[in-house]
Structures are given as structure tokens and as C-alpha cells.
Amino acid sequence: MHEDLDRYPPFPGRERLLAALDHAVQQPDITLITHTLQQVLREAIADAQIALPACVHEPVADHYARRELYHSPVHGYSVVAMTWGPGQATPLHDHSGLWCVEGVWSGTLQITQYALQAQAGERFQFRAGRGLLAGPGSAGCLIPPHEYHTICNPSPDQIAVSVHVYQRVMQRCTVFLPDPQHPHWYRREIRDLQTDDGPTPARSSTAVIGG
């Protein structure tokens, strides 16, 4: 039995999914952990007995929504569902050195990884990798230091939902924004991350950034 479940929105199959996540994060190394988590997410997405809470299918108008489904007080990991309205996207960002496994529950997301090419003081250059279109049932992972990426819902009219398992609660991350004074360079900002508590944002939303 998991603790503090009443803090999170309930959904069918939750205990079974959390038990599988608990098992996955106890694998002996990061490669096995992230590999096993990807398999758990793929199986969960295909499992008709597991249905995410209704709120995660409700987009928020001015930013993609983040809703925490669980934070394990024993193992430390955090599960966040994200809801992407048409065209909603992250800026280029990192994950504060945390590993993360991401699965697409519905819709399609475009994920582009970036490699850090150069740094000059507070300015950064990146090389974009090939964008990956990830459809329902697909899962991938980000393992530092290969953690720079963007996520976008490229659809003009469809919502996308993804589930992200983080090594720990990610309270902030670094975003990299194009530097208008230096073409091809980015400047960085530290952003605190927020969650949305339901269909209507419970907290006013300053930018919620960092998938």
C-alpha cells in the first residue's frame, strides 16, 4: 500500500502502476532503471484497466499543464502527467541533472534533443538533433548529461497527454532562451516549476516550463 495517496487524484489501476514503478526504480543501475520504467509505461498505456484521472485530459489555455500523480516518499520518484494543447511547447531546457522517463499516453509529441556545443560566460550554443515524433504507447528517457531538449505538441487541433517519471521532484530547471543580441546563442534562466491542480489552474500561472 502506498502512502499519502489522498493527496493525489485517484484513478483505476493506480496501485498496480505504482507497484510496477516501485519495482523499476529499485533496479541496480540507471540503465536498468530507465529501461524498466520505459517498459512499465508502455505496458500501462496499453492496459485498458489503467485510466488516468479525468483532469489530465483538460488542457490549460496559456501553458501546458503539469499535474503530479504521485511522489514516492520511500523511493523519491515523482510522476507527473502533462497535458499539451495544440501547439503548446517547452523552450529548450534541462532536468537539473535528474533522469526522467517519458511516455506518450495520447496524441503525438515532437521531442528534440540538443547537444551543448559551446559556452561563453552566460551564453550557450547548442546543436539540435533530429526531432522525434512520438505517438501513443511510445516511451523514451533522458539521462544526464544528455538532458537538453524541447517538447512540442505539433497538432493544430489535438490534445496530447504524456506521463513523466522523474528521479526526484523537479522543483526547478534551467531554460535556454534565444539571445536577441547574439544570433545562434542562448541565455539561461532558472525557472521554478509549478503544478496545476485540476482543469482550472488553481494557482495563477506564470510560465510553467520544463517538461
* Binding footprint of Fe ion on the chain (CB under 5 A): 211
Quote the CA–CA distance of 184 and 38 in Å, as a whole number: 34
C-beta closer to Fe ion: residue 140 or 211: 211
Q: Is 33 buried (19+), middle (13-18) or exposed (0-12) by CB count in 10 A? A: buried
**Nine-digit cell at 179?**
539571445
The answer to whether residues 62 and 205 touch, using CB atoms and an 8 Å cutoff, is yes
With CB atoms as reference, the residue minimizing the distance to Fe ion is: 211
C-beta closer to Fe ion: residue 103 or 211: 211
C-beta closer to Fe ion: residue 14 or 173: 173
In angstroms, give the least distance from the CB of 173 to Fe ion.
7
C-beta closer to Fe ion: residue 17 or 109: 109
- Other Cβ atoms closer than 10 A to 13: 15
Residue type, 17: L
In angstroms, give the least distance from the CB of 13 to Fe ion.
25
| Residue 175 vs residues 24, 76, 162: alpha-carbon distances, Å | 29, 24, 20
Q: Is 156 buried (19+), middle (13-18) or exposed (0-12) by CB count in 10 A? A: exposed
In angstroms, give the least distance from the CB of 41 to Fe ion.
15
In angstroms, give the least distance from the CB of 165 to Fe ion.
12
C-beta closer to Fe ion: residue 14 or 69: 69
C-beta closer to Fe ion: residue 107 or 211: 211
Nearest one of 110, 144, 148, 113 to 128, comparing CA atoms: 113
In angstroms, give the least distance from the CB of 123 to Fe ion.
22
In angstroms, give the least distance from the CB of 54 to Fe ion.
24
Q: In what order do the strands lie in the sheet with 65-71?
A: 65-71, 78-84, 160-166, 100-106, 139-142
